[in-house]
Amino acid sequence: MLRLCLSALLSHWRRHPLQGISILTGLWLATALWTGVQALNDQARADYARANALLAGAAQTQLVARQGERFAQSAYVQLRRAGWPVSPVLEGRLRFAGREPVSVRLLGIEPLSLPADSSVAGQSTQGFDLLHFLTPPGQAWVAPDTLQRLGLKPGDQPTSADGQRLPPLAVQAQLAPGVMIVDIGQAQRLLQAPEQLSRLLLPNDFARTLPALPDNLRTQLQLQPAADNDDLQHLTESFHLNLSALGLLAFLVGLFIVHAAIGLALEQRRGLLRTLRACGVSLRALIGALALELGLFALIAGLAGVLSGYLLASLLLGDVAASLRGLYGAQVAGHLSLSPQWWLAGLGISLLGAALAGLNSLLRSAQLPLLALAQAQAWRQAQALWLRRQSALAIVLLLIAAACWRWGDSLPSAFALLASLLPAAALVLPALLDAALALLSRLCSTPLSQWFIADSRQQLPALALALMALLLALAASVGVGSMTEGFRQTFLGWLDQRLSAELYITPRDTRQGLAMRRWLDEQPGVEAVLPQWRLELRLQGLPVQLQGMLDHDSYRQHWPLLEQQPDAWASLASGKGLMLSEQLARRLKLHLGERLALPTTPPSPALPVVALYADYGNPRGQLLLNDELLRRLWPGATLSSLNVRLPAEHVPALKAQLQSRYRLDSTRLVDQGTLKRWSVEVFERTFAATAALNSLTLSVAGVALFISLLTLGQSRLGQLAPLWALGVTRRQLAWLSLGQTLMLAGLTVLLAMPLGILLAWCLVAVVNVQAFGWRLPLHVFPMQLAHLALLGLFTSLLAAAWPLWQLARRQPADLLRQFADER
Amino acid sequence: MLTIQNLYKSFPTAQGPLPVLRGVDLQLPPATSLALMGESGSGKSTLLHLIAGLEQPDQGSILIDGQPLHSRSETERARWRRENIGLVFQQYNLISSLDTASNLSFQARLANRHDRTWSTYLAERLCLAPLLQRFPEQLSGGQQQRLAIGRALAARPALVLADEPTGSLDETSSEIVLELFLQLVHEAGSSLLMVTHSTHLATRLNRRLQLHLGRLLPGDA
Amino acid sequence: MNAKPVLILLALLLASCDPPAPPSTGFAGLGQQAGEFAQVERGHGLQFPADHGAHDGFRIEWWYVTANLTDSDGRSWGAQWTLFRSALRPGGEQQGWESPNVWMGHAALSGPFGHQYSETLARGGIGQAGVAVSPFHAWIDDWTLRSLGGDGLQQLEMHATGKDFNYRLQLRSDRPLVLHGDQGYSEKSGQGQASYYYSQPFYQVSGEIERAGQRFSVTGQAWLDREWSSQPLAAGQSGWDWFSLHLDSGAKLMLFQVRQENAAPYRAGTWIAADGQATPLKPEQITLTPLAWTRLANGRRVPTHWRVALSQPTLTVEIQALLPQAWMGTRFPYWEGPVRISGDSNGRGYLEMTGYAP
């Protein structure tokens, strides 16, 4: 029975292939966008996990220096000879010069002492090719992706920017991207840190029964317990949430298509369903057949969707990886390697989508009365009821949105705000359009214009879903576009102010930095040398960058402050105040004037926060204090960079002198223009993937509109034929239809603008604050809005063109049939 | 004066062209009525469609006051339809998005020949006056057909073409509606060409012609 | 005793993730060509205390102590302390991480509570492991074998820690060192493979052991082996069986056989009279017969019951493992454990067996 039933049902698609294609397309697009985004997230998360598993991650209990970043190797030997099964690691950044300078995270490991249960690059420590790794020339392990980024091949022995020759490169597929692993001895040579170590790893079982450190080491080293959560995972969470939200939006837009097409197919098969029931097919068999049919669609579309999702993700991955590098310093591979679970999940989401979109139709089929009503329900009443219901639902959602805005203070609540606001706007759209049309109809006096408006209102239910999709996609474009553009302007303005020095120097180490500073002070033309002392530590579990600031007018004039107390710079200079980056202040929940105690030994008095400043793009919280205070409290602070002020015409000469005197390559000696260019490039790539996803969503909405218009085409004939008979030409009718579509789309576009601006406000004032810790001013860009509005109209025009072309080409016979056939 | 000369029309089918009209000649003087009869598939509706300019003949000509209809462009034919033809079909083909009043005056206004007094009169005669604010789906079958008749006559067209105008109504209603229809056609001063298979109804018209296998049978049916 | 695990070390380093080295290169890579490493030569002679220290020109080397102990309740224990040095490449010692030396320590304690062992590795050149000559001190991490006085090896303290066990033993002997083979030149095959090899088999031991949180005072006998070479095994030699035996008469006996593919085992040994007089044993004087095999928990089969027969002096004894499961599951695994001697003479000692495939 099921088979017979199914074959009867499936015969429908032979007669209406377009509906079948609609359902497949909708599911396909929805699945593709969603799985694509998930692929990006999965890849990134897998890479964080690989990076975290790299012995140096937070997952392992470690001994680290109390002061500064490194300590003497003798501590390792001493501890080993005291029976501590520690293993040494030296970590640093290794730079490579080039047109676009690249740096990798270099990890020096000692394979013989690694805890037996640890693994490096997916190999257990017992399975190493020790002979090649340890004996000259040694090996440098890199992931295939990193090798590609460096433009090198296995076996190459490149030279670092500091002039050190690397061991031959060897590919380790399991290695985290952006990481290079060498023997510890090689690392000390490459990083020019002889007999220096960054950390000592402790096997987990030993860490549990930890004996006390020897006295002489207690002042040098401190224990850093294994932390469950990974900073990177935590920091990038918001980014991935953003991606997921975009993916979800696209998924929903795709489901609109499916829902519309399935609903239409059911509507047209009402008669068939009744006949089947009347012939003795049980309700259960009928519903089973319908569900099976739906499952078949989901399976086919799901397969295509997952494949396209993979393709999409591989196209976007480069940009996403660049974003993550730029925003968080997170390394993500440029190629995908996905688990089988991902593929299965993709098929699952397709099935789920089909179920969601088809549930309503299945329920309606189940409740279909066996005996048909003589007359279909009057469309006008039905439409009014439908509009009322949707509006009621929209109001409920708006209330939820308002509650989220008023009482929410977390990222999920910010997204809940968006998740209720957007559907509410979508649901209220048909009612708004209907009202707008009712208003317009009063202005119409000619019969055709009256018909034009009246008929548009009648089309509304059929086009509503597609228009909603257009509204959402366009509003998302406007919102994300305004946010991005606003961020760009704020960021560029901030960068202009912040990058006030003419030359930025990164010394190899503090000693070289001090020497350079003395030398620079004596150079003619140099107006100021501003040293930046840095120290990384954790405040309330958060990684924080402490920066020592010299008291100098340059900062007072150029360092942009968001909020400040009177004489903020003077307090900072006298060591009586701290300045916090906006995101750090938010994370620590500190306000201007409140006090913060720094984790010094012995404890030092808490200092007031005298100013907050913007520090866009820095994943870590930053804290400014007087440089002498910093070095007094932490003698191990490093001189991380020297900012040199001098007249612009002296820059090239001084640069050349520095290059030859200190053998500084382009990564360590950067002028203002280059630094700005790099920053802007990073910024641009950061939002490239977002923009791409956005325009894809918009095209999905276009497809939704296209399919709706196409499916509408047949029933439109019944409306158009009488007009034709009454003396309106076919061409006129086609133009009128196009006008109707454009009017509806235009009104939708018009409504999308304020919604998009509202969305932009949510993004900058709520989501960004929760996700990144900074609040941006809301900018509205009329040109951008106009551009997007035209894009929306153009999308609608494209979507309308084909169905109308079909309509205009209708043979008279098709129209005449409307007068002869059964209704 | 409508003159039809040697009209041929066939439709393409999978088995080759299917001839529907095979040389029809006909004249309809102003303000006269003609019933066109014949079995299903005899080509009655096709003839009507050709006269309305909805279809193009393969051969032969349709002359309106001596002017050939089918040498005109589609735009001109549409205009001809708008200004000179009133169409009444078996299904009423009302515009579902417009109310009764708008439907009634639609074609007249389209043709710029809206006569408010005449429209009001029509509405009253057709018992539509209390229903002017309703929409087609809120009307009964008889009401809908009366509305279609009203719409066809609102512009006082020279020629009214009716295709089984009462085919969807029961016998009593169709009697009443037809009577009203004929009166109003007369008052409008229009000619009427009506397709019907009911001999009984056909007797109410001035002339009757029988269409058989694409040709008109000679003599009054 | 034991040439052994050393090889292991080497192999460990050479084998990487490849399948186990083919038999033709010998157990743990010991059969590899010596290349530019220093070669063992007959008649070279040994010099003390210098030869107690490391010989950086040679590929492999070890300091090896086994002790047969008895606690105050009369229960038998065995303790092993071994330090291996292996050079990854010729060229001698260098300071820092560039050093070619890799050090490996093995420690074991066998007794009423079973067999426990531990392993640790260290790079040369940074001080994590090494050997000082005067006063003598061999160490890796916190494991030590060091002189308690004097230039030589007369008084040593031996200490190691592993999971659930540790020991600290004092070793004393006033007897001279025993040079094996021809004045310390010990052949390992008929084709010239050899090592420098000397022993101190006469240690009297006292000290403390700790096992699973319980401490025991022990006394007993210990045997120290020193051996170094660059290629102690010939191609086709796949493993060996090594005996160091303390007879109740006060005499000591060192015996080994290197098993060869397609050939009879190569056997050699040294008879050490109670007064310390050493007599090399020729291959044909020695018969070694496995009497019973033990299937280990890991599936390998090893002979843990042997008959040892000598023709000059005439001696037939049976050797039985105290703990047949005394498997060293280290990176390069082997069997090593205390044995009991019965027959013409009673006594105790240590047995080491390598190269028994799973």
Instruction: Please name which of B88, B195, B62 lies closest in space to residue B144, comparing C-alpha atoms.
Output: B88
Rounded Cα distance between B159 and B30, Å, is 8
Give pLDDT tens digits for B67-86: 888 788 888 888 888 888 89
Rounded Cα distance between A397 and A412, Å, is 16
Does residue A127 belong to the interface with chain C, where contact is any CB pair within 8 Å? yes
β-pairing verdict for C314-321 and C327-328: unpaired
Percent of chain B scored above 70 by pLDDT? 98
Does residue A82 belong to the interface with chain C, where contact is any CB pair within 8 Å? yes
Domain residues for the domain of A823 are 381-497+674-823
Beta carbons within 8 Å of A518's beta carbon, 6+ residues apart: none
Candidates B49, B82, B102; nearest CB to A450: B102
Cβ–Cβ < 8 Å for A192, A160: no
Contact at CB, B107 and A726, closer than 8 angstroms: yes
Instruction: Please name which of C33, C349, C96 lies closest in space to residue C199, comparing C-alpha atoms.
Output: C349
Give pLDDT tens digits for A509-547: 788 889 999 999 888 888 889 998 888 787 877 778 889
Cβ–Cβ < 8 Å for C77, C90: no
Nearest-Cα residue of chain B relative to residue A376: B137
Q: Which stretches of chain C sit within 8 Å of chain A by CB? A: 12-14, 16-17, 88-89, 96-98, 100, 102, 120-123, 126-128, 139, 141-142, 161, 331
The pair of structure tokens assigned to A486 is 């606003």
Does residue A722 belong to the interface with chain B, where contact is any CB pair within 8 Å? yes
Cβ–Cβ < 8 Å for A50, A176: yes
Rounded Cα distance between A220 and A554, Å, is 36
The pair of structure tokens assigned to B50 is 């050709």
**Residue position matching structure tokens 């001696």:** C315
Q: Which CATH architecture group holds B2-216?
A: 3-Layer(aba) Sandwich (3.40)
Min distance B122 CA to chain A CA atoms (Å): 18
Which is more confidently placed, A189 or A245?
A189
Instruction: Please name which of C170, C202, C201, C188 lies closest in space to residue C238, comparing C-alpha atoms.
Output: C188
The string of DSSP codes covering C67-112 is: EEEEETT--EEEEEEEEEEEESSSS---SGGG--EEEEEEEEEEET
Phi, psi of A108 (to 5 degrees): -95, 125
- Chain B residues near residue A810 by CB distance under 8 angstroms: none
Contact at CB, C88 and A134, closer than 8 angstroms: yes
Give the H/E segment covering residue A802. Answer: helix A782-808
Rounded Cα distance between B53 and A716, Å, is 22
- pLDDT at C288 (0 to 100): 94
Rounded Cα distance between A300 and A320, Å, is 29
Give pLDDT tens digits for A768-790: 777 777 777 788 889 888 988 89
The pair of structure tokens assigned to C319 is 């050797």
- pLDDT at C25 (0 to 100): 39
- Chain A residues near residue C12 by CB distance under 8 angstroms: 130
Mutate to test the interface with A, among C102, C126, C137 (most CBs of A within 10 A): C126
Same-domain check for residues A491 and A514: no
Same-domain check for residues A535 and A514: yes
Taking each helix axis as running N to C, give the angle between helix A447-498 and helix A672-686, from 0 to 180 degrees, rounded to the nearest 10: 140
Min distance A271 CA to chain B CA atoms (Å): 21
- pLDDT at A823 (0 to 100): 31
Q: How far is CA C30 from the centre of its chain?
A: 15
Does A247 reside within a domain? Answer: no
Rounded Cα distance between A657 and A655, Å, is 5
Same-domain check for residues A532 and A416: no
Rounded Cα distance between A175 and A181, Å, is 9
Contact at CB, A135 and C96, closer than 8 angstroms: no
Cβ–Cβ < 8 Å for C345, C308: no
- pLDDT at C55 (0 to 100): 92
Among A656, A673, A690, which residue terminates a domain? A673
**Of the candidate ranges A276-290, A327-341, A584-598, B31-45, the one whose mean pLDDT is the lowest:** A327-341
Question: What sign has the CA pseudo-torsion C228, C233, C238, C240?
Answer: negative
Give pLDDT tens digits for C70-88: 999 999 999 999 999 998 8
Give pLDDT tens digits for A218-239: 888 888 776 544 556 666 666 6
> What average pLDDT does range A31-44 have in this prediction?
83
Give the H/E segment covering residue A679. Answer: helix A672-686
**Does residue B219 have a pLDDT over 70?**
no
Give pLDDT tens digits for A459-518: 888 788 778 888 888 888 888 888 878 877 888 888 787 788 888 888 877 888 899 999
- pLDDT at C12 (0 to 100): 39
- Which of 444-463 (A) contact B at CB < 8 A? 446-448, 450-451, 454-455, 457-458
Nearest-Cα residue of chain B relative to residue A720: B95
> What average pLDDT does range A161-180 have in this prediction?
84
Rounded Cα distance between C7 and A719, Å, is 93
Given its phi and psi angles, is residue C131 left (phi above 0), alpha (psi -120 to 50 degrees) or beta?
beta
- pLDDT at C105 (0 to 100): 95
Instruction: Please name which of A324, A335, A259, A268 lies closest in space to residue A23, comparing C-alpha atoms.
Output: A259
> Which chains contact B through at least 3 pairs of Cβ atoms less than 8 Å apart?
A
Mutate to test the interface with B, among A717, A729, A823 (most CBs of B within 10 A): A729
- Spans of all domains in chain B: 2-216
Reduced to 3 states (helix: H, G, I; strand: E, B; else coil), residue A306 is helix
Contact at CB, A82 and C16, closer than 8 angstroms: no
Which is more confidently placed, B195 or A331?
B195
**Does residue C130 have a pLDDT over 70?**
yes
- CB-count burial class (<10 Å; 0-12, 13-18, 19+) for A363: exposed
Rounded Cα distance between A82 and A211, Å, is 10
Beta carbons within 8 Å of A113's beta carbon, 6+ residues apart: A80, A85, A86, A87, A88, C121, C122, C123
Same-domain check for residues A388 and A534: no
Angle at the Cα of A346 (from A344 to A348), degrees rounded to 5?
A: 70
Does A253 reside within a domain? Answer: no
HSE-up (13 A, CA, CB side) for residue A125: 16
Cβ–Cβ < 8 Å for A610, A604: no
**Does residue C31 have a pLDDT over 70?**
no
Does A309 reside within a domain? Answer: yes
**Of the candidate ranges A97-101, B194-198, C245-249, the one whose mean pLDDT is the lowest:** A97-101
Contact at CB, A134 and C122, closer than 8 angstroms: no
ipTM: 0.89
Give pLDDT tens digits for A282-306: 778 888 888 888 888 889 988 998 8
Beta carbons within 8 Å of A764's beta carbon, 6+ residues apart: A483, A486, A487, A775, A776, A777, A778
The string of DSSP codes covering C226-263 is: EEEES--S-TTEEEEEEEEEEETTS-EEEEEEEEETTE
Residues C79-107 as b/e (b if ≥16 CB within 10 A, e otherwise) read: bbbbbbbbbbebeebeeebbbbbbbbbbb
Q: Which CATH architecture group holds C4-353?
A: Beta Barrel (2.40)
> Which chains contact C through at least 3 pairs of Cβ atoms less than 8 Å apart?
A
Cβ–Cβ < 8 Å for C190, C168: no
Which is more confidently placed, A621 or A197?
A197
Does residue A141 belong to the interface with chain C, where contact is any CB pair within 8 Å? no
Give the H/E segment covering residue A737. Answer: helix A730-762
Beta carbons within 8 Å of A620's beta carbon, 6+ residues apart: A536, A543, A544, A545
3-state helix, strand, coil in chain A (%, to 5): 60, 15, 25
Rounded Cα distance between A199 and C23, Å, is 41
Phi, psi of C56 (to 5 degrees): -65, -20
**Does residue C134 have a pLDDT over 60?**
yes
Give pLDDT tens digits for A727-742: 888 888 888 888 998 8
Rounded Cα distance between A612 and A592, Å, is 7
Cβ–Cβ < 8 Å for C218, C207: yes
Candidates C17, C89, C127; nearest CB to A127: C17
| DSSP type of residue A135 | S
- Chain C residues near residue A188 by CB distance under 8 angstroms: 97
The pair of structure tokens assigned to C276 is 């310390």
Rounded Cα distance between A45 and A39, Å, is 10
Angle at the Cα of A96 (from A90 to A98), degrees rounded to 5?
A: 170
> What average pLDDT does range A709-727 have in this prediction?
77
- The count of other CB atoms within 10 Å of the CB of residue A425 is 25
Instruction: Please name which of A258, A211, A194 lies closest in space to residue A24, comparing C-alpha atoms.
Output: A258
For every residue of A598-642, which 3-state class applies, written as one string?
A: CCCCCCCCCEEEEEEECCCCCCCEEEEEEHHHHHHHCCCCEEEEE
Mutate to test the interface with A, among C13, C36, C119, C161 (most CBs of A within 10 A): C13
Does A360 reside within a domain? Answer: yes
Does A449 reside within a domain? Answer: yes
**Residue position matching structure tokens 């007897």:** C175
Does A255 reside within a domain? Answer: no
Mutate to test the interface with B, among A441, A818, A819 (most CBs of B within 10 A): A819
